[in-house]
DNA sequence: ATGGCGCAGCCACTGCGA
């Protein structure tokens, strides 16, 4: 079983790039974020031709999440109760014995922007949602763009970014609280000390300089963690492919025995 | 070897992303 998460930064703009990646990596399930299209406009046909079905929660222009699966899946839920104003940012699907959820946590914009409080509220509601609705005694993966650099190790320059957005104590403690429900960060479980990023700014040659952040995470329930054999950032797919432009996020991939 | 912002929209600038 191979499960991945990937903020694609517009599925329409990225479709050919994504199809190439699916053919190359052959994941069984993928959490997509930032579809930037409505549920109706989702490219179901192109993905079905590639061997995938999709559980989708989209909206026009912004946000939008999906869980792509090779096997037929049951759509469990869309949206996060109480966080409707934040847009389409959570979808959960069940495939076989696995439950897979894709989340796109609000960016927050700046520390003094109203969206920053919305971000903290979203993370708190996400914790409550997991606590009350997810059976953590079964294989469960919450994959997504959390827009938080959890520790100093997850940032290219911990000193320069100290207390900057994505790095503040309230954001980090909100992620701690989510993990307090019993989920674990797979990357840190399997590779506690590896300095690895999942996002690099398009601007200023950030990727070339490896000035990135690790903000895309695969969170796992104990049974899912127990089966995990490998987790990695698919850095090659942050690179341009011929004429195809990459997302500013790389896929994060995990394999399970 | 790679890359130097990119995407959506009542559009050619602006808002947003992180």
Per-residue pLDDT reduced to its tens digit, A123-166: 999 999 999 999 999 999 999 999 999 999 999 999 989 999 99
> Beta-carbon neighbour count of residue A163 at 10 Å?
8
Give distance CA A174 / C1' B13 (Å). 37
Domain containing A89 equals 2-252
Domain count along chain A: 1
Asked if A176 contacts A164 with a C-beta cutoff of 8 angstroms, the reply is: no
Asked if A125 contacts A100 with a C-beta cutoff of 8 angstroms, the reply is: no
Compute the distance between CA of residue A68 and CA of residue A32 in angstroms, rounded to an integer: 8
Compute the distance between CA of residue A222 and CA of residue A219 in angstroms, rounded to an integer: 10
Q: DSSP secondary structure string, chain A?
A: -EEEEEE-S-HHHHHHHHHHHHHHH--SEEEEE---S-STTS-HHHHHHTT-EEEEE--SSS--EEEEESS--EEEEES-TT-GGG-S-EEEEEETTEEEEEEE-----STTSHHHHHHHHHHHHHHHHHHHH--TTS-EEEEEE-----SGGGBS-TTTTTTSTTS-HHHHHHHHHHHTTT-EEHHHHH-TT----SEE-SGGGTTTTT-EE--EEEEE-HHHHHHEEEEEE-GGGGS-BTTBPPPSB--EEEEE-
The pTM score is: 0.97
Give distance CA A60 / C1' B10 (Å). 14
Asked if A212 contacts A199 with a C-beta cutoff of 8 angstroms, the reply is: yes
pLDDT of residue A158: 92
In a domain, residue A126? The reply is yes
Per-residue pLDDT reduced to its tens digit, A82-139: 999 999 999 999 999 999 999 999 999 999 888 999 999 999 999 999 999 999 999 9
CATH of the domain at A182: 3.60.10.10
In a domain, residue A257? The reply is no
pLDDT of residue A4: 98
A239 touches strand B (CB under 7 A): yes
In a domain, residue A204? The reply is yes
Q: Give me the A residues in range 39-78 that sit within 7 A (CB) of strand B.
A: 60-62
pLDDT of residue A86: 94
pLDDT of residue A146: 97
pLDDT of residue A5: 97
> Beta-carbon neighbour count of residue A223 at 10 Å?
16
Q: Minimal CA–CA distance to A71: which of A93, A101, A90?
A: A93
pLDDT of residue A12: 94
In a domain, residue A223? The reply is yes
Compute the distance between CA of residue A196 and CA of residue A226 in angstroms, rounded to an integer: 22
Q: Minimal CA–CA distance to A79: which of A42, A122, A116, A131?
A: A122
In a domain, residue A16? The reply is yes
Give distance CA A74 / C1' B1 (Å). 43
What's the N-to-C CA distance of chain A in angstroms? Answer: 7
In a domain, residue A65? The reply is yes
Residue range A200-205: mean pLDDT, rounded: 91
Q: Which two tokens stand for residue A134?
A: 């997810």
Q: Which nucleotides of B are covered by protein (CB under 7 A)?
A: 1-9, 16-18
């Amino acid at each position: 079983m191979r499960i991945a998460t990937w903020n694609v930064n517009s599925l329409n703009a990225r479709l050919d790039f994504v199809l190439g990646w699916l053919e190359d990596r052959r994941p069984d399930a993928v959490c997509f974020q930032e579809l930037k299209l409505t549920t109706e406009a989702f490219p179901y046909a192109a993905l079905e031709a590639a061997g995938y079905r999709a559980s989708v929660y989209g909206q026009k222009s912004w946000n939008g999440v999906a869980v792509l699966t090779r096997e037929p899946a049951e759509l469990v839920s869309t949206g996060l109760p109480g966080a409707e104003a934040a847009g389409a940012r959570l979808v959960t699907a069940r495939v076989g014995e696995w439950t897979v959820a894709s989340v796109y946590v609000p960016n927050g914009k700046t520390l003094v922007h109203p969206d920053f409080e919305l971000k903290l509220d979203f993370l708190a509601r996400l914790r409550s949602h997991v606590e009350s609705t997810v059976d953590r005694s079964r294989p469960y993966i919450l994959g997504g763009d959390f827009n938080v650099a959890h520790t100093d190790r997850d940032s290219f320059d911990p000193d320069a970014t100290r207390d900057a957005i994505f790095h503040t104590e309230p954001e980090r403690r909100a992620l701690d609280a989510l993990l307090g429900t019993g989920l674990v960060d797979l990357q840190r479980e399997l590779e506690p000390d590896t300095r690895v990023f999942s996002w690099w700014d398009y601007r200023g040659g950030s990727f070339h300089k490896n000035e990135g952040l690790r903000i895309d995470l695969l969170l796992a329930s104990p049974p899912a963690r127990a089966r995990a054999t490998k987790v990695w950032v698919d850095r090659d797919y942050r690179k341009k492919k011929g004429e195809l432009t990459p997302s500013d996020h790389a896929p994060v991939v995990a394999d399970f025995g």
